C-alpha cells in the first residue's frame, strides 16, 4: 500500500469512530488534520522521489583538471603531460550512457616566440586503468596573430593594469579534441596523456570534459523548474490514484461464517 493509501485508510477508520458528518467540530478538525497530513506527505514524497531520480539519472555537467606540461631538454621535442582524472584507480566518474566532449584550454602569452611557432598539433589519449588508450585524437591550433600596431594600441590601453600586475599579455586558446565520446563500461577512462608538437610557452592549461545533454536529460538540467513541476505533479497524481484504488480493495477475502454443525 502506498503512503497516500495508508493515510486514506486511516482517515476512513477514524471517520467511522467519530460522530456523523454533521456531528460537531471535532470530526471536522480531525478530518482537516488528516487531509493536511496526507497532502503534505504526498507532496514531500513526490519531491523526494524526483530528487533521487534526478541525482541518479543526470550526471555531472563539467569535469576539469589542471594540466602540468613537461618540457623536454631538446626544445624541438614534444611537450607532454599525464593527467589523473580520478582520485582512485577503482573509481569511475563518467556515465556510460552519456555523450561527452573533451577540450584543452591553454592560457598562453602573446610573445614573439609563440607568434613564430605558427600552427602546432595537440594530441590526446584517454587511457583506462591499465594505461591502454581508449580514445585518441589530434587537432591543430595556433596563437592568433597580432600586428605590431594592434599590439601597441592594446598595450597602451591596458598600460595601467599591466603595470600594476592586474592583467597580463595573454590569450586563451580553446582546442576541441573529442566530440560525442562515450565511456566504456568495462574499460572506463582514468587518465589522459596530452602532448604538444611544439614547445609552446604556456601560463596554465586545463582539460575539460563536458556532458552533451540531449533528450530528457537536457530538459531536466537546462529547464529544471518546469521539468520538476511536471514530474512532481505526475507523481502526486499517481500516488492519489494508487491510494484511491487501494481504498476500494477489501481488507480481507473472508466470506460469511459458515454455521457450525
Distances (CA, A) of 2 to 33, 160, 245: 19, 68, 10
Assign residue 251 a region (left: φ > 0; alpha: ψ between -120 and 50; beta: otherwise).
alpha
Beta strands in the chain (DSSP E): 62-66, 79-84, 99-109, 120-127, 133-141, 170-182, 191-196, 204-211
Helix, strand, coil % over all residues of the chain, rounded to 5:
40, 25, 35
Taken in order 139, 143, 144, 147, is the CA torsion positive or negative? Answer: negative
Instruction: Compute the C-alpha angle 56/66/180, nearest 5°.
Output: 50
Q: What are phi and psi of 132, to 5 degrees?
A: -85, 130
Query: Which of 43-47, 148-152, 252-256 bottoms out in mean pLDDT, i.e. has the lowest?
Result: 252-256
Confidence of residue 261 (pLDDT cuts 50, 70, 90): very low
Contact assessment for residue 104 and residue 177, using Cβ atoms and an 8 Å cutoff = yes
- The angle, 0 to 180 degrees and rounded to 10, between the axes of the packed helices 3-17 and 224-248 is 50
pLDDT higher than threshold 80 for residue 255: no
pLDDT score at 139: 94
Confidence of residue 112 (pLDDT cuts 50, 70, 90): confident
**Average pLDDT of span 179-194:** 90
Place of cell 480531525: 30
Instruction: Compute the C-alpha angle 210/180/90, nearest 5°.
Output: 65
Higher pLDDT, 48 or 161: 48
**Average pLDDT of span 132-159:** 79
Q: What percent of the chain has pLDDT over 90?
A: 38
pLDDT score at 115: 85
pLDDT score at 240: 81
Query: Which of 125-134, 200-209, 242-251 bottoms out in mean pLDDT, i.e. has the lowest?
Result: 242-251
pLDDT, tens only, 15-67 = 555 555 545 567 777 777 877 887 888 889 889 999 999 999 999 999 999 99
Domain spans in the chain, listed from the N-terminal domain onward: 3-57+217-248, 62-212
Confidence of residue 230 (pLDDT cuts 50, 70, 90): very high
Give the list of residues 6+ apart from residue 85 with CB closer than 8 angstroms, or none.
63, 65, 93, 189, 190, 191, 192, 207, 209
Global pTM value: 0.74
Higher pLDDT, 133 or 76: 133
Residue 147 cell numbers, joined: 600586428
- The segment with the largest mean pLDDT, out of 23-27, 169-173, 195-199, is 195-199
Contact assessment for residue 2 and residue 241, using Cβ atoms and an 8 Å cutoff = no
**CATH 3.30.70 at 62-212, yes or no:** no
CB atoms within 10 A of CB 38: 21
CA distance 118 to 142: 6
Confidence of residue 179 (pLDDT cuts 50, 70, 90): very high
Amino acid at each position: 500500500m502506498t503512503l497516500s493509501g495508508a493515510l486514506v485508510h486511516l482517515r476512513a477508520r477514524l471517520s467511522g469512530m467519530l460522530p456523523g458528518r454533521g456531528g460537531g467540530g471535532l470530526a471536522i478538525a480531525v478530518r482537516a488534520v488528516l487531509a493536511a497530513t496526507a497532502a503534505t506527505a504526498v507532496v514531500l514524497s513526490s519531491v523526494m522521489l524526483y530528487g533521487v531520480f534526478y541525482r541518479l539519472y543526470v550526471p555531472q555537467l563539467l569535469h576539469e583538471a589542471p594540466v602540468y606540461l613537461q618540457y623536454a631538454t631538446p626544445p624541438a621535442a614534444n611537450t607532454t603531460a599525464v593527467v589523473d582524472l580520478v582520485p582512485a584507480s577503482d573509481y569511475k566518474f563518467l556515465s556510460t550512457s552519456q555523450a561527452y566532449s573533451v577540450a584543452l584550454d591553454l592560457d598562453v602569452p602573446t610573445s614573439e616566440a609563440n607568434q613564430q611557432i605558427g600552427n602546432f598539433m595537440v594530441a590526446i589519449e584517454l587511457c583506462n586503468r591499465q594505461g591502454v588508450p581508449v580514445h585518441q585524437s589530434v587537432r591543430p591550433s595556433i596563437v592568433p596573430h597580432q600586428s605590431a600596431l594592434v599590439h601597441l594600441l592594446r598595450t597602451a590601453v591596458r598600460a595601467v593594469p599591466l603595470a600594476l600586475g592586474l592583467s597580463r599579455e595573454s590569450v586563451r586558446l580553446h582546442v576541441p579534441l573529442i566530440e560525442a565520446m562515450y565511456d566504456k563500461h568495462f574499460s572506463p577512462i582514468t587518465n589522459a596523456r596530452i602532448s604538444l608538437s611544439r614547445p609552446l610557452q604556456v601560463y596554465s592549461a586545463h582539460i575539460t570534459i563536458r556532458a552533451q545533454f540531449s533528450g530528457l536529460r537536457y530538459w531536466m538540467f537546462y529547464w529544471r523548474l518546469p521539468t520538476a513541476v511536471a514530474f512532481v505533479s505526475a507523481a502526486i497524481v499517481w500516488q492519489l490514484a494508487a491510494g484511491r484504488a487501494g481504498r476500494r480493495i477489501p481488507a480481507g477475502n473472508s466470506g460469511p461464517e459458515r454455521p457450525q454443525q
